[in-house]
Structure 1
Amino acid sequence: MILIAGASGATGRLLTQELLNRGQRVKAIVRAPESLPDSLRHHDSLSIIHASILELSDEEMKQHLSGCTAVASCLGHNLTFKGIYGSPRKLVTEATRRLCETIRVSQPQSPVKFVLMNTAGNSNRDLAESISFSQRCIVGLIRLLLPPHVDNEQAADYLRTSGSVNDKSVAWVVVRPDTLVDEVCVSEYDVHPSPVRSAIFDPGKTSRVNVAHFMADLITNDEVWSRWEECMPVIYNKFFSLCHSGK
């Protein structure tokens, strides 16, 4: 069983569908189940949890995580004034913390995989990633002006510093796509340990369906997981795809 937080989002829906297509049983925490397409809402292998994740009690969180071998978070902030500057400002970080702490309290027999969708604009502080002075200045300004970026940074930092240090209940990967685009079908993509281009001055493109495919691979393919466990891989489309959404 796999739990998905943010399953009603643009990438979350694609990840949910991809996992179901692979024969996985999925639980989805969504605030608005009606936003899911009928093909998902009525799928026999999908259990929908109608809730806001930060409003779940500790006991409810434990119940929903029971029996799950993996958790995927595609949570993000709506690109509206309220979504960017309103509450909760630490949606991704607090959800990550609560999910991980609940897993640890439950003391699973084997580590639960935690896959967090993040952004190529966030650096992996475990590595000496090359960032120009100009980009550092702009990222610093983004931190001041856009709270969701800080939320993404702190969520990833939580996993880096707590996800594997305190115990072995949680194993993690932070997936960092670059500029997200919509495409209908999976295309070839490259995955790198660190950015190979500037997220500010020379951004690449990453289709949401490719992000969903890679996250599903991490969850279902042990070889892929072993390659990227406790890493923050960056994913880019390899080629320009002809499979554009609605075009």
Structure 2
Amino acid sequence: MTAALAGLGALVLLASLVWDERRSGWSLWFFFAAAVWHAVTTGQVLGSSFEAAMLLVIGLVGVARGYAARPRWRTWVRYAYATALFFALLSLRFVGTTSGPLPWSLVVFHAGVLTLAYVSLTVAFLAAVAGWAQHRRLKSAPWRSLSAPPLVGLARLEGPYLRAGYVLYTVGVLTGMAWAWRLWGSPVAPDVKELATLVTWALFTLLLLEYRPGRVGGGRVLLWWAAYAALVFVFFVAPYWGGRHPV
């Protein structure tokens, strides 16, 4: 049932991506229902990467829908929908998995905060990539830029979401370290997910320190790709490596 609901959401999102970006509302309900059903059947809220991925998809599509009625933002909305669709399909691998009972404080202040961080940083990443593409378009074929999001608007989207995502990610890392100290006696261990999380945090720290409104150089975009690839690794790949981290 969980996979069926998530699959229906993915189909609706795909249809919205192909035909009309404004018709993605039903996908949100399907993804939400899939997350709730998974939590009910496993008996654990946010105890699985699947539920976190569903919330990530819902948040990303929800933000993108706010720009769907603006013609010039259509390209960025399609980027966001395609990214959400990728995560929705990838999350199906985690259906039925759970970390077991977790304290509510950890669920709310660690898993919940990190999920919000993933949403914010994904929005900022897509804005940064779209801004770089628009900058290149302005230099090579200015007439084509008239149908793409304005650089000023993309910068206004990237900056606030980067700052918010960084703060949320930092809170998530610190609460995770505090919980690890309480449970295992050490805040950090040679665990793949924990070490990758710290590397990811360091990369986003560099991005934040280097951030200047309107700066869209190739080096910054490469740093964005590295940081976001590390974020995806932490979220979807690192759990397969085992270690002490539950999910």
In the superposition, the TM-score normalised over structure 1's length comes to 0.30
As a proportion of its length, which structure holds more strand?
1
As a proportion of its length, which structure holds more helix?
2
Larger Rg: 2
